[in-house]
A and B are shown apart, each in its own frame.
Chain A
Amino acid sequence: DQQVKQNSPSLSVQEGRISILNCDYTNSMFDYFLWYKKYPAEGPTFLISISSIKDKNEDGRFTVFLNKSAKHLSLHIVPSQPGDSAVYFCAASAYGSSNTGKLIFGQGTTLQVKP
């Protein structure tokens, strides 16, 4: 059972425009959500996170929105740059309940930003 889903395998946007990456989850016990960025043949790097007590977190060009009632979160990148082209993973943790710190990852969305 896929608890974290990224239903769009790929996304292509023009440089300067907004990129919106989506993520859905099924486990209502998840209380922390993260986005990671990954280049080919490299490990993922942390991008931005949000706690379940918030509905928005912003860091520069990156904003994550959380809609708990819909069990949905999204990552907005504005403006998009060619260097943003990578695979983006959504991840969730039910840290409060299990205390393991274990992350559950989505399948990833490949973002291509065209110059």
Chain B
Amino acid sequence: DGGITQSPKYLFRKEGQNVTLSCEQNLNHDAMYWYRQDPGQGLRLIYYSQIVNDFQKGDIAEGYSVSREKKESFPLTVTSAQKNPTAFYLCASNNRAHYGYTFGSGTRLTVV
């Protein structure tokens, strides 16, 4: 079945560590997105990519980095510069010719 796979489902990070969240899709979608969900703040856009080897900052890109070396993959690195990384992270994709996203099941990141 086609879809988006995010891994791991739960991730614990120590202060000062970088961690990478995986996002893989087999939908042949052109565009991929990373959102962060915090209570009462909805979904905020971190980074997005419309084509391979190209990506743009979203509204809250500070402390995050991404790469898009393959169409299927859009990993997100949460760096030590991100001051409040504890959140639920969602990856999504779509075909630019159509509206709406397909979302992954999310990764819960907790700083310990």
Q: Identify the A interface with B (CB < 8 A).
A: 6, 9, 32, 34, 36, 41-46, 49, 89, 93, 95, 99-108
- Give A30 to B88 CA distance when docked, in angstroms: 27
B42-A89 in contact (CB<8A): yes
Contact of A41 among B35, B42, B50, B108 (CB under 8 A): B108
Interface residues of B (CB under 8 A from A): 4, 6, 9, 31, 33, 35, 40-45, 48, 50, 88, 90, 92, 94, 96, 98-106, 108
Per the bound structure, the CA–CA distance linking A44 and B6 in Å amounts to: 13
Other than the known A44-B90, A99-B96, A101-B94, what 18 A-B pairs have Cβ atoms closer than 8 Å? A32-B99, A41-B106, A42-B105, A43-B90, A43-B103, A43-B104, A44-B101, A46-B101, A46-B102, A49-B99, A49-B100, A89-B42, A100-B50, A101-B96, A101-B99, A103-B33, A103-B101, A108-B43
Q: Is the interface of B mostly helix, strand, loop or mixed?
A: strand
Chain A residues in 8 Å Cβ range of B48: 100, 102
> Contacts of A108 on B, CB cut-off 8 Å?
42-43
Output the nearest chain A residue to B95 by Cβ-Cβ distance.
A101
If over half of A's interface residues share one DSSP class (helix, strand or loop), that class is named, otherwise mixed; here it is loop
Contacts of A41 in B (CB 8 A): 9, 88, 105-106, 108
List of B residues within 8 angstroms of A46 by Cβ:
100-102
Instruction: Give the distance to chain A from B29, nearest Cβ to Cβ, in Å.
Output: 10
| A107 to B106 alpha-carbon distance, docked (Å) | 17
User: Chain B residues with Cβ under 8 A from A45's Cβ?
Assistant: 103
B99 touches A93 (CB 8 A): yes
A105 touches B43 (CB 8 A): yes
Contact yes or no, B106 A42, CB < 8 A: yes
